[in-house]
């Protein structure tokens, strides 16, 4: 099924440089501002709420800069960094270094001279709200969208006539879903009350906490507690002491640990993760789509074709980590001790979970189901190469083509590579016309490597013959479709103080413990592929 996209024209200025570079910049859309009247059957105006574009850009999908919405005239792309997009206080701003093709140079000239000065963008709306006005028209507020492309255009009429000839379905009149409004309060009134209450709450918190936010207060209190200092914040923490004498870590610090754990565990981050309240969860996965449809004769019955589904059951398995800090480190070091503890705990647990996704020995051992562990339940397809030294570009291309295209792209999450350090070193030496196939890409989150257009993550553990006796050194897959994980709500971050634990008292140290309940299993084996090697150099 084709994606349904909506196109929007904006009368905003796009400017080009006056020097020899082919750079252009301008605002694609002004956030929060109402559009001109849209729709052919039902008239409406719409606005993109502030922050919506920022969320869209965090999805990480490729966005192209076209000339008049024509894929045949691509000017720049986020893939290689020639197109950059950001949302600021005014709206969505774009800056592009146009690729110096013949049409690229021509369109830069048209933009620089003012012949083309407007911007348009294509989007798929993911979340919106509608309100009917007294004159029968509607107001639409968009709070979540998928940004597909931005374009330099001349005028609205040209955009519509051009798009209608393209191989993309355009939504002219989107589905209008009105939310029921209470008689006494409309949306504007409720927003006004919410804003007043939010300001009131901020004033109360600021007075109560001496101008500190709740998060800042918690961090300072916990810092004082570790350093055995006194203060209003630390006394509030002590008020939460349990019957065993352990201090309960504040909510904001707990959330910071969980967020950091996702940052340092790239494999875990790409899986389909659920957060149930209890310790067991059944997840359904498509096993056989059957026949999507059939052509039948007049007055003949349609054959019923059921989807075939498989069920994966996740059960809670306790995992945890701890960091021990000496009292000397806590009291005499100049480092922010709370940030240090959060970083260490999150990194340790995150790496452990990533390792479990690769090497977990399964339910019978109380562990995750590992992608690289041979078992009767693991049906992930394997490609065998005789020697890592003999790995070629053709081997990688054949391996890449062995996975179904629907799992490589056009899904909610993109496919990624997970490879060993030795495989990374071998692949980094492969070249096309003298150019390495392993590309170092600089993104907002830092430098990453791309192989055949997909992100590469290196796992040092894959080179360990004890963990990985089958020598499976390369994994390609869509982990969101292929692997599911469970993080039971209520991850605990606890502090074990020397006053309540004999071991810690004797050692003169403080112990921070992070633990929770997790599980992970293969959901759709066809979405993952493994390459193993018969011979691997030492």
Cβ–Cβ under 8 Å, residues 480 and 413: yes
pLDDT level of residue 404 (50, 70, 90 thresholds): confident
Which residue carries 């059960």 as its tokens?
315
Q: Which of these, 303, 458, 420, 74, lies nearest to 449 by C-alpha position?
A: 458
Element (H, E) at 446: strand 446-451
Q: Taking 90 as the threshold, does the pLDDT of residue 513 lie above it?
A: no
What region does 393 belong to: left with phi over 0, alpha with psi -120 to 50, or beta? alpha
DSSP one-letter code for 265: -
pLDDT band at residue 199, thresholds of 50, 70 and 90? Answer: low
Widest Cα–Cα separation across the chain:
87
Predicted confidence (pLDDT) per residue in 424-441, tens digit: 999 999 998 888 999 887
Please state, in angstroms and rounded to a whole number, the distance separating the CA atoms of residues 224 and 498: 16
Q: Looking at residue 136, what is its pLDDT?
A: 83
Q: Report whether pLDDT(295) > 70.
A: no
Query: What mean pLDDT comes out for the span 7-27?
Result: 63
pLDDT at 522: 93
Which segment of 21-25, 175-179, 318-322, 374-378 scores lowest on mean pLDDT? 175-179
- The 10 Å Cβ neighbour count of residue 215 is 14
Bigger pLDDT: 172 vs 59: 59
Element (H, E) at 509: strand 509-522
pLDDT at 2: 44
Q: Span 372-397, mean pLDDT?
A: 93
CA pseudo-torsion sign 26, 30, 31, 35: negative
Q: Is the pLDDT of residue 456 over 90?
A: yes
- Check pLDDT > 90 for residue 472: yes
Q: Given pLDDT bands bounded at 50, 70 and 90, which one contains residue 238?
A: low
**Of residues 478 and 343, which shows the higher confidence score?**
478
Q: Output the pLDDT for position 271.
A: 92
pLDDT at 164 over 70: no
Q: Which two tokens stand for residue 118?
A: 């407007």
Summarize the confidence of residues 207-221 as an average pLDDT. 59
What's the whole-number mean pLDDT along residues 134-147?
A: 87
pLDDT exceeds 60 at position 187: no
pLDDT, tens only, 315-356: 888 888 887 777 777 666 666 666 777 778 888 888 899 999
pLDDT digits (tens, 9 = 90+) for 298-312: 777 766 555 556 778
Please identify which residue in the block is written with the tokens 């597909």. Answer: 148
> Which pTM was predicted?
0.55
pLDDT at residue 37 greater than cutoff 70 = yes
CB 299 within 8 A of CB 186: no
Q: Round to whole Å and give the CA distance between 293 and 297.
A: 13
Return mean pLDDT, the chain: 76
Give the pLDDT of residue 534: 95
Q: How far apart are CA 523 and CA 479, in angstroms?
A: 9
Arithmetic mean of pLDDT, 61-81: 86
Mean pLDDT of 22-42: 80
Position 498 scores a pLDDT of: 52
Q: What is the pLDDT confidence band of residue 8, given thresholds at 50, 70 and 90?
A: low
For the residues 441-448, what does the mean pLDDT come to?
62
Exposed, middle or buried, 26 (CB in 10 Å: 0-12/13-18/19+)? buried
Rounded Cα–Cα distance for residues 311 and 284 (Å):
5
More confident residue, 176 or 188: 176
């Amino acid at each position: 099924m084709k994606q349904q996209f909506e196109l929007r024209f904006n009368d905003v200025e796009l400017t080009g440089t006056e020097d020899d570079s082919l750079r252009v910049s301008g605002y694609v859309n002004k956030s929060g501002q109402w559009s001109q009247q849209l729709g052919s059957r039902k008239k409406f105006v719409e606005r993109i709420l502030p922050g919506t574009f920022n969320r869209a850009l965090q999805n990480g999908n490729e966005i192209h800069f076209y000339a008049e919405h024509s894929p045949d005239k691509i000017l720049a792309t986020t893939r290689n960094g020639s197109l950059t997009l950001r949302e600021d206080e005014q709206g969505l701003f774009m800056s592009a270094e146009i690729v110096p093709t013949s049409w690229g140079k021509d369109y830069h000239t048209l933009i620089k001279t003012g012949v083309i000065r407007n911007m348009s963008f294509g989007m798929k709306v993911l979340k919106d709200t509608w309100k009917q006005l007294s004159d029968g028209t509607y107001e639409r507020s968009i709070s979540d969208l998928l940004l597909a492309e931005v374009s330099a255009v001349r005028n609205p009429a040209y955009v519509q006539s051009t798009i209608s000839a393209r191989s993309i379905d355009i939504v002219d009149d989107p589905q209008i879903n009105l939310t029921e409004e209470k008689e006494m309060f409309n949306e504007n009134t409720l927003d006004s009350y919410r804003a007043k209450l939010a300001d009131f709450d901020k004033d109360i918190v600021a007075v109560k906490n001496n101008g500190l936010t709740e998060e800042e207060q918690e961090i300072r209190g916990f810092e004082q507690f570790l350093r055995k200092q006194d203060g209003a914040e630390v006394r509030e923490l002590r008020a939460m002491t349990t019957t065993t004498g352990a201090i309960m870590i504040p909510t904001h610090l707990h959330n910071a640990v969980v967020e950091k754990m996702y940052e340092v565990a790239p494999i875990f981050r790409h899986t389909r993760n659920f957060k149930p309240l209890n310790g067991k969860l059944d997840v359904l996965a498509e096993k056989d789509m059957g026949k999507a449809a059939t052509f039948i004769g007049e007055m003949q019955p349609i054959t019923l074709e059921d989807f075939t589904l498989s069920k994966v059951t996740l059960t809670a398995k306790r995992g945890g980590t701890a960091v021990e800090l000496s009292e000397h480190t806590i009291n005499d070091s100049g480092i922010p001790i709370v940030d240090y503890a959060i970083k260490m705990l999150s990194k340790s647990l995150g790496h452990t979970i990533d390792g479990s996704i690769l090497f977990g020995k399964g339910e019978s051992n109380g562990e995750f189901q590992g992608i690289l562990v041979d078992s009767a339940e693991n049906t992930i397809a394997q490609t065998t190469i005789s020697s890592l030294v003999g790995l070629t570009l053709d081997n990688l291309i054949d391996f890449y083509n062995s996975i179904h295209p629907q799992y490589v792209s056009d899904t909610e999450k993109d496919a990624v590579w997970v490879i060993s350090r030795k495989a990374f070193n071998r692949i980094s030496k492969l070249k096309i016309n003298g150019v390495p196939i392993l590309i170092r890409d600089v993104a907002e989150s830092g430098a990453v490597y791309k192989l055949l257009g997909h992100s590469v993550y290196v796992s040092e553990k894959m080179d360990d013959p004890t963990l990985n006796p089958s020598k499976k050194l390369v994994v390609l897959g869509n982990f969101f479709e292929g692997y599911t994980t469970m993080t039971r709500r209520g991850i605990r971050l606890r502090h074990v103080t020397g006053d309540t634990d004999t071991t810690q008292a004797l050692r003169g140290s403080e112990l921070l413990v992070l633990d929770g309940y997790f599980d992970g299993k293969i959901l759709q084996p066809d979405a993952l592929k493994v390459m193993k090697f018969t011979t691997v150099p030492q």
